[in-house]
């Protein structure tokens, strides 16, 4: 039986990985997050409080469980916050990765690390794993530095870069493009939506499967893992509105220049995912299939 330890398990991806592991009897699942466990289901796995910016805590928790695989989903993911909270971004997205690498080396654990399409400048998407990063923001720069820590570590590793993850989170602590649109339009709130940035939305459940496969197979190297469809964020939001039969007149298009967010974003990303299809059996659902999955989950929790 393999032991898989997940960091940041209160987050969107972390939660989905834990739920997927719960269904497997060939894996011992160790869920870790900063502070208390906020998942709805609290049984069927072991929970440890773990702040990955503390080397002592990383060494202690990994030393206790000696995992075969560590999946690092924890990060400072608020792109604009990284512009001002630079030390925190470096601590979590770079230094903490060094702590994990060090502990994985001791236990010969395979590290699955998550990264982002934002490592690219968005001038010439869709991108393959061979394309050269050119980060435009502090978030992107720290994620790229974190990647290099893993790549140069000499341990066994996979890096999965992904794009706009969407899904239902247990404790509503996090929003994402689908939930944000759904909640705002249902409450008849106006939303301003970027009309000149293009991305490939990724269903959290699909990405979770790819992370687990990469870990169990100790699949070496870099993987681009996202949905197949690249679309304008404005169109993404309009599709969500139409799918849930919500009034799209509350959607107000805005250009990147007019919105002027603190962090610069790449205009067009999107990934070529053939390597993940071939080596991780990655078969992402279409955006509409993903929305069907979201709808089922919203019905289950009584939110639809």
Ligand X SMILES: NC(=O)c1ccc[n+]([C@@H]2O[C@H](COP(=O)([O-])OP(=O)(O)OC[C@H]3O[C@@H](n4cnc5c(N)ncnc54)[C@H](OP(=O)(O)O)[C@@H]3O)[C@@H](O)[C@H]2O)c1
The contact set with ligand X (CB under 6 A) reads: 7-8, 10-14, 33-35, 50-53, 73-75, 77, 92, 114, 116, 143, 162-165, 173-174
Q: Which is nearer to ligand X, 92 or 251 (CB)?
A: 92
Q: Are 233 and 197 in contact (CB under 8 A)?
A: yes
SS3 at position 66? coil
Distance CA 82, CA 76 (A): 7
In angstroms, give the least distance from the CB of 261 to ligand X: 15
In angstroms, give the least distance from the CB of 279 to ligand X: 19
Q: Which is nearer to ligand X, 3 or 95 (CB)?
A: 95
Smallest Cα–Cα separation from 271: which of 188, 218, 198?
198
In angstroms, give the least distance from the CB of 230 to ligand X: 14
Distance CA 128, CA 80 (A): 26
Q: Which is nearer to ligand X, 7 or 213 (CB)?
A: 7
Q: Which is nearer to ligand X, 8 or 215 (CB)?
A: 8
Residue nearest to ligand X (CB): 11
In angstroms, give the least distance from the CB of 104 to ligand X: 16
Which residues contact residue 172 at a Cβ distance below 8 angstroms, ignoring those fewer than 6 apart? none
Q: Which is nearer to ligand X, 93 or 156 (CB)?
A: 93
SS3 at position 84? helix
In angstroms, give the least distance from the CB of 285 to ligand X: 16
Tokens 């870790």 sit at which residue? 32
What are φ and ψ of residue 285, in 5° steps?
-75, 155
């Amino acid at each position: 039986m393999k032991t898989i330890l997940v960091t940041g398990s209160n987050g969107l991806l972390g939660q989905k990985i834990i739920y997927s592991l719960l269904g497997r009897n060939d894996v011992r699942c160790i869920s870790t997050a900063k502070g208390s466990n906020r998942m709805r289901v609290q049984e069927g796995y072991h929970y440890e409080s773990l702040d990955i910016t503390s080397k002592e805590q990383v060494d202690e928790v990994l030393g206790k469980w000696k995992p075969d695989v560590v999946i690092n989903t924890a990060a400072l993911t608020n792109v604009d916050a990284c512009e001002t909270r630079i030390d925190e971004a470096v601590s979590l997205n770079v230094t903490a990765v060094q702590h994990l690498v060090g502990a994985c080396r001791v236990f010969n654990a395979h590290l699955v690390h998550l990264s982002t399409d934002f490592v690219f400048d968005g001038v010439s998407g869709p991108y393959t794993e061979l394309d050269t990063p050119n980060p435009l923001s502090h978030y992107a720069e720290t994620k790229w530095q974190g990647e290099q820590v893993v790549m140069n570590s000499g341990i066994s590793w996979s890096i999965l870069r992904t794009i706009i993850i969407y899904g239902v989170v247990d404790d509503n602590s996090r929003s994402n493009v689908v939930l944000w649109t759904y909640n705002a339009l249902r409450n008849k709130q106006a939303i301003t939506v970027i009309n000149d940035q293009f991305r490939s939305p990724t269903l959290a459940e699909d990405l979770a499967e790819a992370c687990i496969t990469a870990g169990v197979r100790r699949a070496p190297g870099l993987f681009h893992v996202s949905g197949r469809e690249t679309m304008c964020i404005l169109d993404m939001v309009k599709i969500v509105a139409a799918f849930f039969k919500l009034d799209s007149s509350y959607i107000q298009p805005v250009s990147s220049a007019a919105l002027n967010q603190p962090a610069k974003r790449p205009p067009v990303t999107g990934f070529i995912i053939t390597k993940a299809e071939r080596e991780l059996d990655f078969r992402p659902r279409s955006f509409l299939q993903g929305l069907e999955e979201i709808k089922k989950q919203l019905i289950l929790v009584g939110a639809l």
